[in-house]
Structures are given as C-alpha cells and as structure tokens.
Amino acid sequence: MQHTLVDPVLLFDNEAYLIFKNPLFWVPVLQNTRKSASFACFLGCFCFLGFIGGLHCFLQRRILVGSGFRDRKKVGALMGSVVEEIRNGGGHSVVDVESKAGFGGGIEDVYGEDCATEDQVLTPWTASVASGYTLLRDPHYNKGLAFTEKERDAHYLRGLLPPAVLTQELQEKKLMQNLRQYEVPLHRYIAMMDLQERNEGLFYKLLIDNVEELLPVVYTPTVGEACQKYGSIFRHPQGLYISLKEKGKILEVLKNWPERGIQVIVVTDGERILGLGDLGCQGMGIPVGKLSLYTALGGVPPSACLPITIDVGTNNEKLLNDEFYIGLKQRRATGQEYAELLEEFMTAVKQNYGEKVLVQFEDFANHNAFELLSKYSKTHLVFNDDIQGTASVVLAGLIASLKLLGGTLGDHTFLFLGAGEAGTGIAELIALEISKKTGAPLEEARKKIWLVDSKGLIVKSRLGSLQHFKQPWAHDHEPIKQLVDAVKAIKPTVLIGTSGVGKQFTKDVVETMASLNEKPLILALSNPTSQAECTAEEAYTWTKGRAIFGSGSPFDPVEYENKLLVPGQANNAYIFPGFGLGLIMAGAIRVHDDMLLAASEALAMQVSEEHYAKGLIYPPFTNIRKISANIAAKVAAKVYELGLASNLPRPKDLVKYAESCMYSPRYRSYR
Ligand SMILES: NC(=O)C1=CN([C@@H]2O[C@H](COP(=O)(O)OP(=O)(O)OC[C@H]3O[C@@H](n4cnc5c(N)ncnc54)[C@H](OP(=O)(O)O)[C@@H]3O)[C@@H](O)[C@H]2O)C=CC1
Ligand SMILES: CC(=O)C(=O)O
Ligand SMILES: [Mg+2]
C-alpha cells in the first residue's frame, strides 16, 4: 500500500525524525547534515510505510528534519525541501510517496499533486520548502535571479530559474524602471505589494533606496485609494484579520500567525481610514503600509511586525452592498460587544507576546480612539499614532519653524480646523511643551491654542455639548461659525488643518493669514491628497510666496516668481518608526508623553541650515533611517531616564545601538 507523505515539519539540531503528533512517537532516523537528514527521512519513510499506513487513520504524521532554524516558517521551509527531494528525487532515487491513483474514485490528478476526491475531506498538509520550487515562492528567502550558481546547486534551483545571475542592485534597477512605466499610481501600489509577497528583501531595498519616490506609493496618498478598492485588488491576504466571528478564540488566531517574535503590532478597526471615513475590513492597507514603514524607515525587522485589522462590521453602505467586499457584511458592533472584543484582543496580545510588544492603534474613529488609549496605556505598551505620533511630528515642525518665524512657542497663537484625534492631540502636546518650557500651568498654556470643529469655534458656551477631548479647548469667546471669521478674530500665527475635509483653507482664509503674518505657517495635514485643506500651490500663491507650508500627503515643489518653494511633508511617518524602535530597544513597558517630546526634539534637531534656506521645517525623507536612529536614541534615553526600561544595562551609545539593531534588506548568502 502506498502512503501519502503529509505535513512535514522540521526539527532542530541536524536530526532527522519521523514524528507523530504525540512526541512519544517521534522516531529519530539519522543525524548530521540537512541532505543526509532528508535522505534519512526518505529512507525512514519508505521503511515505515506499512507501519505508518496502519496508523494513518489514527495519527497525524509528520516528518521532521533538523537544521537549527527557530521559527515555524523557516522550519517549515527547510523541511519542505525534504519533501521536495523525496518527491522529485533530489539527486536520489525517486520514490512516489503519493499514490497517483489517489484514494479511489477521485478526479484524475495528472500532476500527482492532489489525490483527494472532490467530496472526500482531507487534511490540508503544507510542505513549505526552503529549497527548490518553494524557496522561490517564500518571500523571506527568495532572491529571484540573484541566487548564485552555488546556491542554485545547493538548493535544488537548477532549471527553475533562467541562467542569468543578477545582483540585487540590478534587480532593483530593473524594478524601478518597471514601476516608473506605470502611469496609474494604484498599479504601482499593486506592483509593490506583489513584490513584497514575492521577495521581501528586494521590496525593502527598493523602498529604502527610493524612499521619496516610493513613500507615496505604499503610503499616503495611494494607500488610501488601495483601501477604497481593496476588495477588487485583493490578491494575497496580508496581516491578520480578527472579526467578531473570532470572539472567544482570538488567542488561537494570534497563534496562527507564522512568526513568533512580534515586537510591533499596528491595529485598526477601519472606521476612520485617513480622511476617507469608514472602510471597514479594507482598512488593512493601513497597518500593512505603516508596518512596511516601521521596517523601511525605522529598521524594525519585517518578521517582528504584525498588521491586524479588527472587523466589527462597517457602516459604509457602499461596502455593505459591494459583492467584492472582503469584510463582515453587517453594521458596526458598538458598546459592550465592541469593548469585549477589544478587551479579548488586548489580553490575548499580552498573553501571546508578553508585556513588551508595542501596540499601535491606527485610524480608529475618535469615539473609540481616546478611550482605548486611555484604558490600555495603563496596562499595555500602547501608542496612538493619530493622536500621539501626529502630535509629536507637528510639534517637531513647530520647534524647527521658530528658526524661521522667531520667538518661542509660547509667543505664537495656534488655530486648528478640526478638533478630533489629530487636532486635540497636537494641541495638547504643544501646550505641554509650552508649559514645560515656560513653567506656566497647562491650563494657561492651552489659552494660546484655539480649535474649530464642524460647528465652529470651540468656546465656553458650547461646553455642555462638547465631547470630553474638546472640553479643555473651550475658551472664553463669542461663538464663530466660519473659519475665515475665526482667523480674523483669533489672529493666529499658525493655521493647522486636521479636519479630514479637503479645500477648507480657501483663498479668503489663506489671504487673511497672509495679511496677519509676514510668514504665515500653514499646515494642511489631512490625508490623502484629496482631503488636504489646501494644496502647496494654493498656499504659496495666495500668500505671494511667503507661506511656510507643510502637508500630510506630499506635494511637488512649486515655482513662484522664479523661486522654487519646497513644501515639507508633515506626517507622523517621521516619528512612529523611530519612536517604536526606541521603545523596543529600551524594552519599554509603557509610553509616556515625555517620550513624545523627546522624539519631537530629536526630529527638529535634524533640520539643517540648508533645509531652512529652502523654507523647510522637516528634513527630507532621504535620510530617514539616520533620523529614525536619532529619534530612537532620544526616546530610548527617556525610557531609561523614566525607569521604564527593561533592557538593561543601558547601551552607552544609543544612536550606534539603534543603527546596529536596524534590519538590512541586503540578500544573505545561503549555505
Ligand atoms: N499628517 C498626519 O500625519 C496625519 C493626518 N491625519 C489626518 O487628519 C484628518 C483628521 O483625522 P482625525 O483627527 O483622526 O479625525 P477626527 O474624525 O477625529 O476629527 C476630525 C475633526 O474635523 C472636524 N471637521 C470635520 N469636518 C469639518 C468641517 N467641514 N469644518 C470644520 N471641522 C470639521 C470634526 O468636527 P466634529 O467633531 O464636529 O465632527 C472633527 O473635530 C484625517 O484626514 C487624517 O488623515 C491624521 C493623523 C496624522
Ligand atoms: C497619517 C495618518 O496616520 C493618517 O492620516 O491617519
Ligand atoms: Mg492614521
């Protein structure tokens, strides 16, 4: 009787085993190198066929072959080569361990890949392979045409690749040429995601080396469109989906993720994706994008990053009626049902990954975001990027801008359009910084900051109806409905857009800012580009080239009266990768506001005279890894100073240490 070789898994320390689910049944076959171990497996398998066949119905069999790898994927990968060798001969005699005849009455299986009948249940055994065909399909290890001749021999790749051997640099050049040929940004996004799924090292090499060019592809603005069309462009599942269906078994779901050493989780529930509203389960593009920046910009290894989307339904009618929608087709769970799912999730995260895993909340709607942050910041290492990361990046820009504007932070008056997560988060950190620098009470510092929401200026008379996060900003003033009137009344030196609604900084508004200030500082932070409160061109033209301008999504430089004006990108992407790296390096167990202030100062310090000369208040992204290392070092130093570090002793040179921790996308040589 022929027997199906199933679900092989690797064991370690160069030992080959035939094993069963119960470890007591594991049978060592041979020790030593991988090849001999593989062959041993083959022999062992052959000899034990009858025995195994007899137990087939009762026991789940596995073959383990060792090679010292630690994680499941690698283990599975190496092991797969064994199966492949057995299946394909692999230099040894071929043994057909899968009966081509199948289990009787099955559909004809000309390739011998699937012997099951259509109606017969089978176990979906996987044989991930670290050599041969499957190696080419493992994004962690695949190098495509860059596999050397030696590697092609050693890993059974002969014939599976065309003869040319390319360097990683040449592959990069070719891919950049290909990408530049796509005229539609979404096509570039899809090509990049395909590359990430195919060859992770090359994906990150491209992203790191061409960061200014590719950031708008994998991140805002294109990621916004990708999320809107996620159902249609969906190819490979990325990240982990936890829906209401998984209630009661979230810990098990976390265990399904192949990597064990997770250090950063970015999680969304998809309710406020950029300024595009509720995109439900399709919000997954955001955690995936943010985490690719954690790796490319902050050097956190991809295997330590876990994107998660919590699907509690969506209130987006268009998605609910979309046949391609990939999420739960029901309206959003709220109240206790929502809170219980999140509680189970947060508990499971800590249980599975420990105290030091960083959970970054991303693009939750504000009615949940503030509460989740406040609740879990006491028990977990959590960080809300929209509230805290955005605050830190804007504060950095403001500190840097003082070189151009003059005065201290406390000398300025700030007006926000939008009083949600980003708006009130930034406002609070500015007030904290002013208070720390001047010694003034926080309440006093807040008086320099004004916010406008969809109902107008936030003033005392509205106190009774304001959400809790707006209340500290209700100052004494008569009500004002229109932004332009608020600008005239408050006379801000700095105008910040965090409304999520495009085109709100009208000509009137911007011209009024220009009439009040020699150098009006205008930040149109809303994403993606379509939601920006104004464009760079509008800001420069309406202020006659005098504005200092930054935006959440990138704008091209603008030529105004023969002068090239370069807008900065005020986006939390400057902060969270380095901030997260700093927390991880120090083994932080809680986030503290002082760490955000430290990150702001570190970023502001990276703006050089050369940048100021161009009117920039942020350094360009080209140097982002160096910037992130500096941010990480300052954040880690603060973690140690506050006694919240668990990685002891403290490294002496934290910048060097940060750099040494960073992931490199360079191909490794394989034995
Ligand atoms: N550049 C960056 O790094 C970041 C940018 N953002 C962007 O900021 C935007 C807002 O995000 P977030 O703060 O989380 O969103 P929220 O929903 O929490 O807040 C939006 C705020 O804007 C107000 N608003 C909406 N429409 C108008 C309007 N027409 N006039 C005046 N106010 C209005 C809302 O008023 P009301 O309360 O009355 O409803 C609310 O106060 C998004 O586009 C997001 O992409 C966010 C984080 C980082
Ligand atoms: C940048 C970002 O986090 C946002 O727009 O939500
Ligand atoms: Mg966000």
Q: Which of 54-68, 464-478, 506-520, 525-539 is predicted with the least confidence, judged by mean pLDDT?
A: 54-68
Decide whether any atom of ligand 1 lies within 6 Å of the 572 Cβ.
Answer: yes
CA of 363, closest atom in ligand 2: 6
Please provide the distance, in angstroms rounded to a whole number, between the alpha carbons at the two ends of the chain.
37
Q: For the chain, count helices (H), then strands (E).
A: 27, 17
For the stretch 120-150, pLDDT in tens is 777 766 555 578 999 999 999 999 999 999 9
Kindly report the number of other CB atoms within 10 A of residue 457's CB atom: 25
CB atoms within 10 A of CB 180: 10
The preferred substitution site among 225, 268, 274 for testing ligand 2, maximizing ligand atoms within 8 Å of CB, is: 274
Instruction: Decide if 219 contacts 207 (C-beta within 8 A).
Output: no
Does the C-beta of 381 come closer than 6 Å to ligand 1?
Answer: no
pLDDT in tens, 302-357: 999 999 999 999 999 999 999 999 999 999 999 999 999 999 999 999 999 999 99
Beta bridge partners of 115: none
Rounded to an integer, what distance in angstroms lies between the CA atom of residue 131 and that of residue 154? 8
Question: Is the pLDDT at 78 greater than 80, yes or no?
Answer: no
* Cβ of residue 274 lying under 6 Å from some atom of ligand 2: yes
Using the predicted structure, report yes or no on whether residue 76 has a pLDDT greater than 60: no
Asked if 370 and 421 count as a contact pair (C-beta separation under 8 A), the reply is yes
User: 410: number of CA atoms within 13 Å, CB side?
Assistant: 14
Nearest to 109 by CA among 98, 120, 119: 98
Q: Does ligand 1 have an atom closer than 6 angstroms to the CB of 452?
A: yes
Residue 109's pLDDT is 52
Domains of the chain: 1-129 (no CATH), 132-166 (no CATH), 169-379 (3.40.50.10380), 388-570 (3.40.50.720)
Ligand nearest the Cα of residue 387 is 1
Q: Report the pLDDT averaged over residues 85-89.
A: 38
Residues 6+ apart with CB under 8 A from 354: none
Q: Closest Cα to residue 484, out of 502, 504, 468, 454?
A: 504
For ligand 1, say whether the CB of 500 is within 6 Å of any of its atoms: yes
Q: Which residue among 218, 527, 618 has the greatest number of ligand 2 atoms within 8 angstroms of its CB, and so is best to mutate?
A: 527
Q: Which residue's alpha carbon is at the smallest distance from atom 5 of ligand 2?
A: 274
Of the residues 468, 481, 498, 617, which should be mutated to test ligand 1's pocket, given the most ligand atoms within 8 Å of the CB?
A: 498
What residues contact 169, with CB distance under 8 A and at least 6 apart? Answer: none
**Does 26 have pLDDT greater than 90?**
no
SS3 of 451-469: the string is EEECCEECEHHHHHHCCCC
Average pLDDT, the chain: 86
Backbone angles phi, psi at 387, to 5 degrees: -85, -55
β partners of residue 457: 452
- Asked about 436 being catalytic, the answer comes back as no
From the CA of 596, how far away is ligand 3's center (Å)? 16
Q: Which residues surround ligand 3, an ion (CB under 5 A)?
A: 362-363, 386
Q: Which atom of ligand 2 is nearest to the CA of 386?
A: 3
Instruction: Give the pLDDT confidence score for residue 130 in this predicted structure.
Output: 72
Q: Cβ(191)–Cβ(178) under 8 Å?
A: yes
Long-range contacts (CB closer than 8 Å, 24 or more residues apart) made by 172-181: 172/202, 172/205, 172/206, 172/209, 175/202, 175/206, 176/206, 176/210, 179/206, 179/214, 179/217
Position 563, amino acid = K
Higher pLDDT among residues 36 and 268, named by residue: 268
Residue 369 pLDDT exceeds 90: yes
Q: Could you tell me which residue, 553 or 117, shows the higher pLDDT? A: 553
Helix, strand or coil, per DSSP, at residue 31: strand
State the helix-helix crossing angle for 507-516 and 483-490, rounded to 10 degrees: 10
For residue 389, give the ligand 2 atom closest to its CA.
Answer: 3
pLDDT at 374: 98
Which of 391, 353, 345 has the alpha carbon at shortest distance from 372? 345
Test site for ligand 2: of 220, 426, 553, most ligand atoms within 8 A of the Cβ: 220
**Which residues, in sequence order, are CB contacts of 299 under 8 Å at separation 6+?**
577, 581, 625, 628, 629, 658, 659, 661, 662, 663
Distance 422 CA to ligand 1 centre (A): 7
Interatomic CA distance for residues 18 and 468, integer angstroms: 62
What is the predicted pLDDT for the residue at 121?
Answer: 73
Kindly tell me if the per-residue pLDDT of 90 is higher than 90: no
Task: Kindly tell me if the per-residue pLDDT of 105 is higher than 50.
Answer: no
Distance CA 58, CA 382 (A): 45
| Total residue length of the chain | 671
The DSSP output letter for 59 is -
Catalytic residue, candidates 141, 156, 219, 574: 219
Tokens 């990325």 locate to 238
194 is an annotated ligand-binding site residue: no
Residue 49: band (very low, low, confident or very high) from pLDDT cuts 50, 70, 90: very low
Dist. CA 390 → ligand 2 center (Å): 8
Question: Could you read off the pLDDT of 400-459 as tens digits, one per residue?
Answer: 999 999 999 999 999 999 999 999 999 999 999 999 999 999 999 999 999 999 999 999
- Does residue 265 surpass a pLDDT of 50? yes
Q: How far is CA 537 from CA 334, 532, 544, 659, in A?
A: 42, 12, 10, 37
Q: What is the pLDDT of residue 116?
A: 54
For the question of residue 219 being annotated catalytic, the response is: yes
CA 387 – ligand 1 centroid, Å? 11
DSSP β-ladder status, 305-311 and 264-268: parallel
Q: What is the pLDDT of residues 179-199, one digit of tens each?
A: 999 999 999 999 999 999 999
Q: Is 316 annotated as a binding residue?
A: no
User: From the alpha carbon of 467, which atom of ligand 1 is closest?
Assistant: 37
CA neighbor of 267 nearest in space, from 224, 311, 327, 310? 310
298: nearest Cα among 602, 671, 88:
602
Q: Are 357 and 349 in contact (CB under 8 A)?
A: yes
Cα distance between residue 202 and residue 172, in whole Å:
7
- Please state the rounded mean pLDDT for residues 36-49: 45
Whether the CB-CB separation of 176 and 192 falls below 8 Å is answered with no
ipTM over the 0.95 cut-off: yes
Residue 223 has pLDDT above 60, yes or no: yes
Amino acid at 215: L
Check pocket membership of 274 for ligand 1, CB cut-off 6 A.
yes
Sequence letter at residue 17: Y
Of ligand 1's listed atoms, the one at least distance from the Cα of 570 is 1
Selected catalytic residue, list 73, 74, 143, 290: 290
> Whole-angstrom Cα distance, residue 211 to residue 313?
34
Does residue 604 have a pLDDT over 70? Answer: yes
> Lowest mean pLDDT: which of 42-46, 193-197, 241-245, 404-408?
42-46
- Its pTM surpasses 0.95: no
Q: Is the CB of 271 under 6 A from ligand 2?
A: no
pLDDT category at 28 given cuts 50, 70, 90 is: very low
Asked whether the bond before 649 is cis by omega within 30 degrees of 0, the reply is yes
Residue 564, strand partner residues: 559
Helix (H, G, I), strand (E, B) or coil at 293: helix
Atom nearest to 525 CA in ligand 2: 5
| Strands across the sheet containing 240-243 | 240-243, 305-311, 264-268, 358-361, 382-384
Ligand nearest to the CA of 369: 1
Nearest CA to ligand 2 atom 4: 274
3-state secondary structure 637-669: HHHHHCCCCCCCCCCCCHHHHHHHHCCCCCCCC
Measured distance CA(174)–CA(629) in Å, rounded: 30
210/215 Cα distance (integer angstroms) = 8
Lowest-confidence range among 60-74, 183-197, 213-227, 482-496?
A: 60-74
Q: What is d(CA 510, CA 513) in angstroms, rounded to the nearest whole number? A: 5
